[in-house]
Amino acid sequence: MRFFLFAWLTLLQVVLAVPPPDGRKYPRPWFPIWRTVTVTAQGEPAAATGTCVAVTGDSSSSTASKRSHSIPFGSPGWTTERPSVIISTRSDSGSEAEQTIQVVSEESPDGDTTLFSDETSPASGQQPASSTGSGEVAPEVTPTPEVVTQPASPTSSTQPTSTTDLGDTNTVSVITSVNPSGTLQILPTDVPIESTNTGTIPTDAPSSGYPTSQPLITSPIPSPTELISATASVPTDQPSAPSETVSMVVPNIFAAPISTDPPPSQIPQRKDHPAPRIGIKSAGPIGTNKFYNNFFLGNQTSPSYLFPYSVTWARGGGASGTWGMAISHVDANQRVYGQNDPGSGAARYYINPIGIHSVCLSAKELGPGTVLTSDNLTDFSSLVSLRAREGGQAVIQFPLVQGAGFVTGVYNGGQPVVQTGIFFKTVTRASKEAKEGVVKYRLHLEDGTTWLVYAYHTKGEGLNLQVVNNGRAESTGPFYGIIQVAKASDGESEKVYDQACGTYAVGVDLSGGVNGKTGAYRFGFRKQGMYQSPVAQFALPHHLSSFDDGTRGKVTGVKLQTPTKGVAYLVLADSWTMVETELPTGIGFLPWSPEAGEVKGLSEGVRSFVKGVALQEVSQDMLQQSDQNSMYFSGKFASIILVIRDMLGDEALALTALNQLKQAFARFAENRQQFPLVYEGGWGGVVSSASYVTGNSGADFGNSYYNDHHFHYGYFILTAAIIGHLDPSWIPANKAYVNMLVRDVANPSAADQYFPVWRNFDWYHGHSWAHGLFDTLDGKDQESSSEDTMASYALKMWGTVSGDQNLAARGNLMLAVQARSLNSYYLYTESNTVQPKNFIGNKVAGILFENKVDHTTYFGTNIEYVQGIHMLPLLPHTPMVRRKEFVREEWDAYFSGGRAEQVTGGWKGILMGNYGTIDPRGGYDFFSGGGRGGEFKGEWLDGGRV
């Protein structure tokens, strides 16, 4: 009669009197010598003893084999019996102890099944072990559904082996002995390895493509040799440019393209670009300043930040050694802070560790030949595929969307592998499906975190994981469907994830409209999977504060820390609607304040003083001063002419200066500047030829690699708006050129096949990213928040004067969103609850990356540089964003008590102009000849461009 018995064993160790010589601490105590263990199962003797143990349930059997696998609950051959195991142990001193324990790999009280556990105390509901020995119990193991017999010596010992090449020595193999009457799986808990849950901190500052010069021209501007004469005649029938209508109603400001025409003929076209398109399957323009860029830059292994999760293609390396996708989430207590500034007491930076592989989704088919490709690249999403070989079918596809509640892998017949670089503490399969067809696993990791894995199969069998070792679990067969990973933030979050599992977003449809001073924008999530379930997406703080009532009601209590934008909350909804009720429709070209509105009138004394300065400014050689080797320095001359006409009322002088400005602008519109623009079809955009000519990726501030386009082109767009305002007849001949610049940085529609949608402005984050096609570990970044809003203001004003109502409305909405988001993420008052308390004393971010915030600049660490880069340029919309409360706190922290006098050059002009927003008289006193801030010098105005 054949008995089918199943037994379990733990390998018990003894604590040596002498600790490890290197004093290293491990997750469990490490003992360098295995004890000899003899096992009797159900009263029958074990087959062998040795450094590790082979166990059989029938001593009459002459065959045994060893495999590396585990057994899912409920599979054929599973038994609910709990055989006792008698373990006799012999210590080094020769004494013996006998222990009877109960097998622990079975259903828990709630019906769940623990597939693996390295716990050293009895599980809940389990009978405690009675022993005169160590008191440890066996790790939880599950029986196998298959019986494999191979000839083997019954006295040979089983050594740690694995049927899979793990590619990583920092794991421990599961040992399973199988014969016709018994199966044993062993995973030692006391091993000489450490959980890698701390990650690494990049210490080298990125340099490629980053500007290292000041954003101000520091060479002296010669004084004019003679003053300009007002020679222009003022036409009596000059038409007026369109003005903004406060009552305008636009139903969907994102629907229509600006244009679908090719770039103007004076812009040459070429198909090459110095940055290759690595693994990109999409045709047409590609977003160059997006969260997913690292997947096709460098060696494709730098993280992409979804918020709150980050994902990394480990490419066979890192803590897990996976060839799949590594998923990470960093809590606030894992951050690293820089030294405290002696003056403010605030940390100089904070950064989140990278390289933590909490949970990895892979497949057995993936290995050294794996290639990563990117497709369906949009402004919010991308589809990343892992293929076993070049040209092969996708084994796993990852639809990555900003704010994703789950990281989702789509399998089409591959054999899933779930890995971790932190190591499993327990792996449990829920006894009940989360939904029909959705299997759920709980992964408790050695760092104390809990991750949930949901598997929704669309055909074939459900996901059946077997634990191979404490870093790896494999499916028993191919899988068709999706596997989703989420971090459980607390005990209640699992219930929320259960509601949303099986559904995932693959993209976002952006729409919006305005009605007077109220604007709204909507994220409509394109979803797949179980369509009846809501989409789970994380909302950032600026979303939460602007949600309409319907969306606010769908916010759950599930929250996770983001890398640099506070705490995100999970929302279960197929769409979000955000509302802004203070669109800056009343802000035009003239000075503006929240209290007084638009300021037009000047006293006679102020008018006289300003006119004298203005005459000096417009008498300078604009044509020569604008002839620079960078687009960034060349588009900042128009405001003084606007003041002359609209505030001083001198139309003749204004038109005389305007004619010179038109000539200077024509050099660029005709593409005759030092480094002409080119349209390159590799990525789809208009770039400086500087890097093509010089071979230097950082030339022209990296413009050729798509750095800073909204800064560079924003100044030209604003200049064009002012020219068009002063002379509407100029618009038709120049509209195509200016619109080309607008389309490059802020194209709203995929119908435009020449430019990607929203290159710079990120509607999920609520601000722009300046960083272009350069691979960096900390993701995208932006330095100047004020120039970010300048670009939005430029779009608003060009849309207004050119008659593009949609563009004007988008500019207004962007400014309102930025006023909200920047005051959470970039500009810090004492009441800020988003950024770390020990960082908000810096008052401004400095450089904000996706993964860190560094209170510095790329061109120097002077405090006026760091604070000033978030001030310049000072424009009518500035008080809307840089609010009085913030400006006062910043001034008191850094520049009060005479410290402003220590600032020199153009930076003092910026600083005192900013001070004027809280003390208009004090600001005027400085610029009119002295007072607070010290003596003013006219050359600090940088040729009228600040």
DSSP, res 271 = S
Chain position carrying tokens 């799949």: 324
pLDDT tens digits for range 202-250: 765 555 666 667 777 766 666 666 777 777 667 766 666 777 654 556 6
pLDDT tens digits for range 42-96: 333 333 333 233 233 333 333 222 222 233 333 333 333 333 333 333 333 444 4
Distance, CA of 239 to CA of 797 (rounded, Å): 17
The SS3 call for residue 337 is strand
Reported as a pLDDT band with limits 50, 70 and 90, residue 620 is confident
Distance, CA of 84 to CA of 8 (rounded, Å): 8
Q: Which of 86, 246, 54, 238 is nearest to 152 (CA)?
A: 54
Name the CA dihedral angle for 223, 225, 227, 231, rounded to a multiple of 10 degrees. Answer: -130
pLDDT at 626: 86
Chain position carrying tokens 């399973």: 176
The rounded Cα 18 to chain-centroid distance in angstroms is 47
The pair of structure tokens assigned to 898 is 């005479």
Residue 199 has phi, psi (to 5 degrees) of 70, -165
**Weakest mean pLDDT among 615-629, 737-751, 883-897:** 615-629
Bridge partner residues of 475 (DSSP):
465
Q: Chain-wide mean pLDDT for the chain?
A: 81
Distance, CA of 717 to CA of 738 (rounded, Å): 6
pLDDT at 567: 98
Chain position carrying tokens 């424009």: 875
Largest CA distance in the chain: 117
pLDDT tens digits for range 579-596: 999 999 999 999 999 998
Instruction: Please compute the mean of the pLDDT values over residues 516-525 and round it to a whole number.
Output: 97
**Is residue 102 over pLDDT 90?**
no
Q: Which of 533, 534, 543 is nearest to 574 (CA)?
A: 534
pLDDT tens digits for range 749-794: 999 999 999 999 999 999 999 999 999 999 999 999 999 999 999 9
User: With contact defined as beta carbons under 8 Å apart, do 609 and 597 qualify?
Assistant: no
**Is residue 7 over pLDDT 90?**
no
Contacts for 857 with CB less than 8 Å, ≥ 6 apart: 783, 846, 847, 865, 866, 869
**Is residue 29 over pLDDT 50?**
no
User: With contact defined as beta carbons under 8 Å apart, do 930 and 938 qualify?
Assistant: no
**Is residue 280 over pLDDT 70?**
yes
Reported as a pLDDT band with limits 50, 70 and 90, residue 279 is very high
pLDDT tens digits for range 808-833: 999 999 999 999 999 999 999 999 99
Integer-rounded Cα Rg, in Å, for the chain is 33
pLDDT at 237: 67
Percentage of residues in the chain having pLDDT higher than 90: 63
pLDDT at 92: 38
Distance, CA of 846 to CA of 781 (rounded, Å): 10
Reported as a pLDDT band with limits 50, 70 and 90, residue 630 is confident
pLDDT at 927: 83
- What DSSP letter does each residue of 711-774 carry, written as one string? HHHHHHHHHHHHHHHH-GGGHHHHHHHHHHHHHHHH---TT-TTS-S-SSEETTTTEE----S-
User: With contact defined as beta carbons under 8 Å apart, do 469 and 187 qualify?
Assistant: yes
Answer with the residue of higher pLDDT: 35 or 24: 24
Exposure on the CB side of residue 221, measured as CA atoms within 13 A: 26
Distance, CA of 229 to CA of 231 (rounded, Å): 6
The predicted model scores a pTM of 0.83
For residue 317, the tally of other CB atoms under 10 A from its CB is: 18
Positions annotated as catalytic residues are: 708, 783, 787
The SS3 call for residue 186 is strand
Exposure on the CB side of residue 329, measured as CA atoms within 13 A: 27
Answer with the residue of higher pLDDT: 215 or 913: 913
Strands 677-680 and 269-270: parallel
Reported as a pLDDT band with limits 50, 70 and 90, residue 893 is very high
Reported as a pLDDT band with limits 50, 70 and 90, residue 41 is very low
Q: Which of 545, 531, 528, 539 is nearest to 576 (CA)?
A: 539
Q: Which helix (H) or strand (E) holds 658?
A: helix 651-669
pLDDT tens digits for range 364-384: 999 999 999 999 999 999 999
**Weakest mean pLDDT among 335-349, 611-625, 840-854:** 611-625
